[in-house]
Amino acid sequence: MLQWALIFLVIAIIAGIFGFTGIAGTASSIAQILFFIFLVLLILSLIINAFRGRKPPM
């Protein structure tokens, strides 16, 4: 999911450079949403693993 967020971020940057502000705004919004979903899932995963007593893989 983080990979998709980075892809949409790159699309937004490229679209912004070429002047496609509508596409750039949409792509950056999608990238932000995906990034925050990734963060929430990461935090939930760390909390669940902490309660189970397992250490996260390194």
Chain-centroid distance, C-alpha 8:
9
Q: Does pTM surpass 0.75? A: no
Among residues 56, 51, 2, the alpha carbon closest in space to that of 31 is found at 2
Contacts of 15 (CB under 8 A, 6+ apart): 21, 23, 24, 27
Radius of gyration of the chain (CA): 16
* Better-scored residue on pLDDT, 53 or 3: 3
User: pLDDT per residue over 6-56, tens digit each?
Assistant: 888 888 888 888 888 888 888 888 888 988 999 999 999 888 888 887 666
Q: Check if the beta carbon of residue 1 is closer than 8 Å to that of residue 31.
A: no
Range of the domain at 26: 2-50
Q: How many domains does the chain divide into? A: 1
